[in-house]
């Protein structure tokens, strides 16, 4: 099939077109005639779990563009004719429809913010809209953990963006104390170059900060984090080639999360004006942005599903299974595998409370097929991760069903 030849599919009434958990979504769909009901796996406050789609509507885009298992179920409500589109046909589809493509991207960007808000609410935090005050409050969390590079950055940005803010005197006092211990971050203050080198542990931008730049990792890794209930939660660990910081440029809103170097990192910086020019002139940039946002939506949806589990050990196994799905690794094999994060990062990703961390990790490591070596989580049997994840999910559903009955 060439890029010009999109597929066509006829579905009978009641047929399932996609199912939650279907592996490796190969197509997304455009309804030509008929109606389709799409049902989400998770409950989002203020939203219906089911949506009825009509001719012209898209579905399955997130899972297909991120090349991950489906996160919703689509069923034909009557006889339906559907156009099928492969991931590599997306650029062809939008190359003469820039406005349509930007509508998809802007819709995805808003969806990421909605899901981030839901994730915060799932944690039990009453945190509202982010803004300059978020910078100061996050700085307070990092300074208590003696992470002075991050704290220094956040306090200075708070003062820049809220020079008359109520916490300015406190922020100035904190800066005076910690500046000698934040030399690496201080040295980066006036770097406006096109390519920048950030040492491990330095902050690139903070949650609540105004955004005017987008970043592409050339070397190293970057953590995307949020502070929830005075704890750092890791949303993602990005690698070379990954792009981040796009949402603040697309929506002209404060940063919805922080970016911190997880190793010595080289980054290419793209300004707002250059970004707009690239989007209008280079369709491949739109495709890359769509893939990026699809991955964000898929990953945050999985985090919300994970946060719904009551058993912290179950959360650990579940997220290891999710990471295997992200890496397109078959969890049914009995092969060994090394994850790109350690136990400390794992408990932050799934939000295990400090008082429960030792017990949860002890139970995880009691399984001799799971260990930590050279600061990274490793397993000697991929199928064990899948098996344990499925077991804990099943037990969680049984427990919740009993409670509701």
Running along the chain, 405 residues long, what does each successive block of 10 average in pLDDT? 72 95 84 95 81 93 91 95 91 75 83 86 66 95 96 97 96 97 91 92 95 93 92 91 86 90 94 78 82 91 92 97 88 86 94 93 97 96 94 91 75
Q: Is 95 helix (H, G, I), strand (E, B) or coil?
A: coil
CA-CA distance, 145 to 42, in Å (whole number)?
34
Q: At what angle do helices 312-326 and 343-350 cross, to 10 degrees?
A: 100
* pLDDT at site 154: 98
Q: Strand, coil or helix: what is 204?
A: strand
CA separation for the pair 5, 84 (Å, rounded): 10
Cα angle value 42/43/46 (rounded, 5°): 145
- Side-chain-side CA neighbours of 129 within 13 Å: the count stands at 4
How far, rounded to the nearest angstrom, does the alpha carbon of residue 54 sit from its chain's CA centroid?
29
Q: Looking at residue 3, what is its pLDDT?
A: 46
Using CB atoms within 10 Å of the CB of residue 282, give its burial: 0 to 12 exposed, 13 to 18 middle, 19+ buried. exposed
The DSSP bridge partners found for residue 120 are: none
**Helices and strands (H and E) in the chain: how many:** 14, 19
DSSP string, 327-343: TT--TTS---EE-SS-H
Q: Which of 205, 246, 209 shows the shortest CA–CA distance to 222? A: 205
Residue 267, classed as helix, strand or coil, is strand
309-404: same fold as 7-90?
A: no
State which fold the 111-305 domain adopts: Jelly Rolls (2.60.120)
6 in helix, strand or coil?
Answer: coil
Class of domain 7-90: mainly beta
Domain ranges of the chain: 7-90, 111-305, 309-404
pLDDT of residue 125: 56
Q: In the CATH hierarchy, which top-level class contains the domain 309-404? A: mainly alpha
Residue 124: what pLDDT? 59
Q: What pLDDT does residue 2 have?
A: 46
Instruction: Locate 313 and state its tokens.
Output: 């050990």
Place of tokens 């991120």: 66
């Amino acid at each position: 099939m060439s890029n010009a030849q999109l597929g066509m599919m006829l579905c009978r009434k009641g047929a399932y077109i996609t199912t939650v958990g279907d592996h490796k979504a190969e197509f997304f769909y455009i309804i030509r005639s008929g109606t389709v009901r799409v049902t989400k796996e998770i409950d989002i406050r203020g939203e219906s779990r089911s949506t009825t789609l009509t001719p012209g509507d898209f579905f399955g885009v997130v899972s297909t563009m991120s090349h991950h298992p489906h996160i919703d179920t689509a069923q034909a409500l009557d006889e339906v004719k559907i156009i099928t589109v492969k991931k590599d046909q997306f650029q062809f589809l939008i190359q003469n429809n820039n406005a349509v493509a930007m509508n998809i991207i802007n819709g995805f960007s808003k969806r990421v913010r909605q899901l981030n808000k839901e994730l915060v609410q799932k944690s039990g935090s009453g945190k509202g809209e982010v803004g300059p005050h978020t910078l100061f409050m996050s700085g307070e969390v990092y300074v208590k953990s003696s992470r002075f590079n991050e704290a220094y950055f956040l306090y200075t940005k708070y003062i820049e963006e809220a020079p008359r803010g109520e916490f300015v005197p406190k922020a100035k006092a904190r800066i005076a104390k910690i500046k000698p211990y934040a030399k690496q971050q201080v040295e980066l203050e006036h770097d406006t170059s096109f390519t920048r080198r950030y040492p491990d542990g330095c902050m690139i931008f903070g949650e609540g900060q105004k955004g005017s730049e987008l970043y592409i990792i050339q070397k190293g890794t970057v953590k995307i984090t949020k502070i929830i209930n005075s704890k750092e939660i890791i949303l993602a660990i990005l690698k070379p080639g990954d792009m981040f910081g796009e949402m603040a440029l697309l929506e002209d809103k404060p940063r919805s999360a922080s970016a911190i170097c997880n190793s010595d990192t080289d980054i290419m910086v793209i300004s707002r004006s250059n970004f707009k020019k690239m989007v209008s002139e280079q369709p491949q940039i739109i495709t890359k942005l769509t893939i990026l946002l699809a991955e964000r939506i898929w990953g945050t949806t999985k985090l919300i599903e994970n946060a719904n589990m009551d058993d912290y050990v179950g959360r650990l196994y579940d997220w290891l299974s999710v990471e295997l799905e992200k890496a397109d690794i078959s969890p049914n094999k009995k092969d060994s595998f090394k994850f790109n994060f350690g136990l400390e990062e794992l408990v932050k990703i799934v939000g295990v409370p400090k008082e429960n961390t030792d017990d949860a990790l002890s139970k995880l490591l009691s399984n001799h097929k799971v260990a930590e070596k050279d600061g990274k989580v490793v397993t000697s049997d991929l199928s064990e991760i899948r098996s344990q994840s499925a077991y804990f999910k099943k037990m969680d559903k049984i427990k919740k069903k009993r409670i509701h009955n």
